[in-house]
Amino acid sequence: MAERPLLAHGIGGEMLAYLLIRAFRWATGLLLIMFLTYTMMYYGAGDPVKRMFLDTSDIGVDALTLERIRERYGLNDPLLQQFGNYLNRLAHGDLGTSIREQRPVADMVRATLPISLQLGAAATVISTLFGVPLGVLAALRHNRRTDFTIVGIVVVSNAVPVFVTGPLLMLLLVVVLDLMAVPWGWNGLFSTTAILPVIVLALGPLPIIVRQTRAAVLEVIHEEYIRTARAKGLPEFQVVTRHMLRPVLTPVATSVGLVLVTLINGAIFVEFIFGIPGFGGLTLEGLQQVDYPVIMATVVIGALIVMVGNFLVDLLYPLLDPRITDRR
């Protein structure tokens, strides 16, 4: 009886060490990404102050005015001093002020990031709900017509980029079939304008999940415990859901985590095609306008999304396979 609390304490200690190691790795990676991005902007992105007045065709600005603006934003300081000042502001929750828009970058992020988070989460759920069953079905019908059909559709859909799929589906559903109005802008995740963007986003990662699930099922389908379950006369549905899916979901969880991160950070084309004011559009705007604070904010937020996504996958691993904590 006395061994159970000790065992529980040992498992809790292993889990804590497991999480701390990964948190340290991602924090170090985030700091390195920020420094590299800041260095590249410092040496190669151009002068954002000159770019701002060049785009507005304001020829009445003299060199002294430009110098004062650079001084106000700290653009004349050495690289390490600038980066240190940025980290200090970031530690206090200040993402800076947009040089171009003259408004807090945090407000711009708050207005755009939730939209991309909703789109990415919805597309990930749809891809997973369709991808996992299709992958299992393809593996169970290995080298049969069903398998070839699913794999063929997956290969074709993977070969078509998002900026082609979006306009084609819009043309088909809006112009040819007249099933909906032109989906433009953002009226919430549960509005009709969000249906097509979510579908287009979901089609991108669907082949990854299908292939990963199919490969994982093929690895375990001939294991002894699967054969034993079938020999006991269990229905195929129970064999798949109770005995096959748990080891299969471990590698699939990695794919789903990466898919969610990719959709949130990489939905630039979809947001541009459908006129959605999301985080991808903010990233593109910052790059086009050489707006240092906006660029750094999108990099920091994007890296944090990657870090949190992978961290959640790390949390999920021990639940699917407790042996993983022993291999850290």
Q: Tell me which amino acid residue 191 is.
A: S
| Residue the block writes with tokens 């200690």 | 13
Alpha carbon distance 199, 203 (integer Å): 6
Tokens of 281: 């559009």
Which residues lie below 8 Å from residue 183, measured CB to CB, with a gap of 6+? 170, 174, 192, 193, 194, 195, 196, 197, 274
| Model confidence pLDDT, tens digit, residues 39-75 | 888 777 666 776 666 655 555 566 777 778 788 777 7
| Model confidence pLDDT, tens digit, residues 155-205 | 888 788 888 888 888 888 888 888 888 888 898 888 888 899 999 888 888
* pLDDT computed for residue 56 by the predictor: 54
User: Highest-confidence range of 229-243, 247-261, 281-295, by mean pLDDT?
Assistant: 281-295
Which of 45-49, 181-185, 218-222, 233-237 shows the lowest per-residue confidence on average (mean pLDDT)? 45-49
Alpha carbon distance 242, 5 (integer Å): 29
* pLDDT computed for residue 67 by the predictor: 78
Stated as kind and residue range, the H or E segment containing 83 is helix 79-91
Q: Distance between the two ends of the chain, CA-based, in angstroms?
A: 29
**Domains in the chain with CATH codes:** 112-292 (1.10.3720.10)
Say if residues 210 and 135 touch (Cβ distance below 8 Å): yes
Stated as kind and residue range, the H or E segment containing 36 is helix 3-44
Provide, rounded to the nearest whole percent, the portion of the chain with pLDDT above 70: 86
141: phi then psi, degrees, rounded to nearest 5: -110, 40
3-class secondary-structure state, position 182:
coil
Section 204-211 average pLDDT: 87
Tokens of 202: 């979901």
* pLDDT computed for residue 111 by the predictor: 92
Give 102's DSSP letter: -
3-class secondary-structure state, position 170:
helix
In the structure, what pLDDT confidence band is assigned to residue 106 with cuts at 50, 70 and 90?
Answer: very high
* pLDDT computed for residue 9 by the predictor: 47
Which spans in 184-291 are helix H? 195-203, 206-220, 224-231, 236-238, 245-265, 268-273, 279-288
Could you tell me how many residues make up the chain? 328
Q: What is the mean pLDDT of the chain?
A: 81
Using the predicted structure, report yes or no on whether residue 5 has a pLDDT greater than 50: no
Indicate the pTM of the whole model.
0.79
| Residue the block writes with tokens 């993402």 | 95
* pLDDT computed for residue 58 by the predictor: 52
Alpha carbon distance 273, 255 (integer Å): 26
Region class of 178: left (phi > 0), else alpha (psi between -120 and 50), else beta: left
| Model confidence pLDDT, tens digit, residues 115-166 | 998 998 898 889 989 999 999 999 989 889 999 999 888 888 878 888 888 8
CA-CA-CA-CA dihedral for 272, 275, 279, 284, to nearest 10: 40
pLDDT higher at 41 or 114:
114
In the structure, what pLDDT confidence band is assigned to residue 318 with cuts at 50, 70 and 90?
Answer: low
Alpha carbon distance 185, 248 (integer Å): 38
Section 217-230 average pLDDT: 84
